[in-house]
């Protein structure tokens, strides 16, 4: 067997295994079975790391990036169509995807550039409220999603001066304060529904109503959430393309330089403020677009969706997956969103468990579960 054939086989098998695992994980209900499945997966991961499979698989993947992308998308489609008739699994999958987009925004901000943002849920929320307010107007809803991002970016600009002026803990405090203010503002603001929140009209694309189930034949009716999952998948793909292109360019390099050593960066002409503003704005834009579709999908939003704890969840996804690591973000978003839904024990002690996991990660694996690799400007090219 040639190496390239082996690589391809590894990728296809891996994608198939991942799809099968995800389907099983989402489908089973029995708590004991879910535990067993998680333990099985953990054992596989540890064994893989111990016997060096992980490294050789990682090499196969990095040599065939395009095939890997295609395989991941195909696996996702398989999972989606497996659950084509079931509302709840599709809702969960779409939620994971929208969290992935919002966390990509955070990755742009502090994974790449080191700009902390503990108000991620607030920017996601700006997107949600944009969809609620503009959803009933004559503005095309696809445009409303983009406007959700634009308005989140604009709202974020009030934070730019404090974010540029402060560093580390202080910047964290500033963004936390902003997140709390945002929620309080929503609660007292009657035009935005106050504490009760607002209804949001569903997505409608060129006359195709996303909130209707899709009737194929008399016996086959697909869940309307399928519409949302597919649109969310398209948005995730676009977000990934943007993140990748930025990372693999001089801009990604500037971001890294700003994060790692501001003084040295300044001595080589890198405009610290400019790149922090670019990262902060793009990141909030992404969070806002995710929020807008999320609101349309749920049909209803309230200030309680955008608490500080929700911002913390976004941050913990980024840390868990690995700062700046895109695949890590997907894995972590999947774990953080799905595990509490599947395991009632976790549901109850949700935040306690998050806190413990976060501390363990920061102590023992600060680079996250799937650490970001070195920048490969051109995939497969090493000079």
Binding site for another protein (CB under 8 A): 242, 245-246, 249-251, 253-254, 256-257, 260-261, 263-271, 278, 374-378, 382-383
- Which residue, 1 or 374, is less far from another protein as judged by CB? 374
Token pair for 363: 């102590």
Query: Minimal distance in Å, beta carbon 257 to another protein?
Result: 5
Query: Minimal distance in Å, beta carbon 264 to another protein?
Result: 4
Query: Minimal distance in Å, beta carbon 369 to another protein?
Result: 17
Query: Minimal distance in Å, beta carbon 256 to another protein?
Result: 6
Q: What one-character DSSP code corresponds to residue 67?
A: H
- Which residue, 80 or 243, is less far from another protein as judged by CB? 243
Instruction: From 104, 109, 108, select the one nearest 326 (Cα to Cα).
Output: 104
Query: Minimal distance in Å, beta carbon 117 to another protein?
Result: 20
- Which residue, 114 or 193, is less far from another protein as judged by CB? 114
- Which residue, 256 or 310, is less far from another protein as judged by CB? 256
**In whole angstroms, what is the distance from residue 200 CA to residue 125 CA?**
13
Instruction: Sort 252 into a burial class: Cβ within 10 Å, 0-12 / 13-18 / 19+.
Output: buried
Q: What are phi and psi of 246, to 5 degrees?
A: -70, -45
Give the other-Cβ count within 10 Å of 202's Cβ. 19
Query: Minimal distance in Å, beta carbon 252 to another protein?
Result: 8
**In whole angstroms, what is the distance from residue 201 CA to residue 75 CA?**
31
- Which residue, 186 or 257, is less far from another protein as judged by CB? 257
Query: Minimal distance in Å, beta carbon 164 to another protein?
Result: 14
Is residue 199 classed as helix, strand or coil in its secondary structure? strand
Query: Minimal distance in Å, beta carbon 265 to another protein?
Result: 7
Give the other-Cβ count within 10 Å of 351's Cβ. 12
- Which residue, 133 or 257, is less far from another protein as judged by CB? 257
- Which residue, 6 or 273, is less far from another protein as judged by CB? 273
Is residue 78 classed as helix, strand or coil in its secondary structure? helix
Alpha carbon 26 to chain centroid distance? 19
Instruction: From 34, 118, 46, 119, select the one nearest 335 (Cα to Cα).
Output: 34
Cα-only R_g, the chain: 21
Strands (E), 202-281: 204-205, 208-209, 214-215, 221-222
- Which residue, 136 or 261, is less far from another protein as judged by CB? 261
Residue that has been written with the tokens 């890590």 in this structure: 328
Instruction: State in Å, rounded, how far the first CA of the chain is from the last one.
Output: 27
């Amino acid at each position: 067997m040639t190496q390239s054939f082996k690589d391809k086989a590894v990728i296809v098998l891996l994608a198939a295994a991942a799809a099968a695992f995800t389907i099983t994980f989402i489908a089973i209900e029995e708590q004991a079975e879910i535990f067993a499945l998680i333990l099985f997966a953990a054992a596989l991961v540890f064994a893989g790391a111990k016997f060096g499979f992980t490294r050789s698989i990682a090499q196969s993947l990095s040599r065939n990036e395009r095939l890997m992308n295609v395989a991941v998308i195909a696996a996702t489609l398989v999972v989606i169509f497996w659950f084509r008739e079931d509302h709840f699994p599709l809702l969960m999958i779409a939620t994971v995807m929208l969290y992935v987009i919002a966390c990509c925004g955070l990755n742009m901000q502090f994974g790449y550039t080191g700009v902390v943002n503990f108000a991620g849920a607030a920017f996601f929320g700006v997107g949600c409220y944009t969809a609620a307010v503009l959803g009933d107007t004559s503005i095309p809803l696809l445009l409303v999603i983009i406007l959700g991002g634009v308005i989140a970016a604009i709202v974020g600009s009030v934070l730019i001066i404090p974010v540029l002026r402060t560093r580390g803990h202080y910047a964290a405090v500033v963004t936390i304060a902003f997140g709390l203010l945002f929620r309080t503002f929503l609660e007292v603001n009657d035009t935005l529904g106050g504490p009760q929140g607002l209804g949001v009209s569903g997505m409608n694309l060129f006359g195709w109503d996303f909130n209707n189930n899709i009737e194929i034949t008399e016996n086959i009716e697909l869940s309307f959430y399928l519409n949302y999952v597919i649109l969310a998948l398209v948005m995730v793909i676009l977000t990934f393309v943007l993140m990748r292109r930025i990372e693999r360019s001089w801009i990604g390099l500037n971001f890294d330089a700003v994060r790692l050593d501001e003084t040295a960066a300044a001595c080589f002409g890198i405009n610290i403020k400019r790149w922090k503003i670019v990262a902060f704005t793009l990141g909030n834009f992404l969070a806002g677009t995710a929020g807008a579709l999320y609101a349309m999908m749920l049909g209803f939003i309230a200030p309680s969706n955008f608490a500080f704890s929700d911002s913390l969840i976004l941050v913990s996804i980024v840390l868990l997956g690995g700062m700046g690591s895109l695949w890590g973000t997907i894995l972590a978003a999947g774990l953080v969103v799905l595990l509490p839904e599947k395991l009632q024990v976790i549901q109850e002690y949700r935040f306690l468990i998050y806190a413990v996991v976060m501390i363990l990660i920061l102590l023992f694996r600060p680079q996250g579960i799937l650490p970001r690799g070195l920048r490969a400007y051109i995939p497969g090219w090493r000079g």
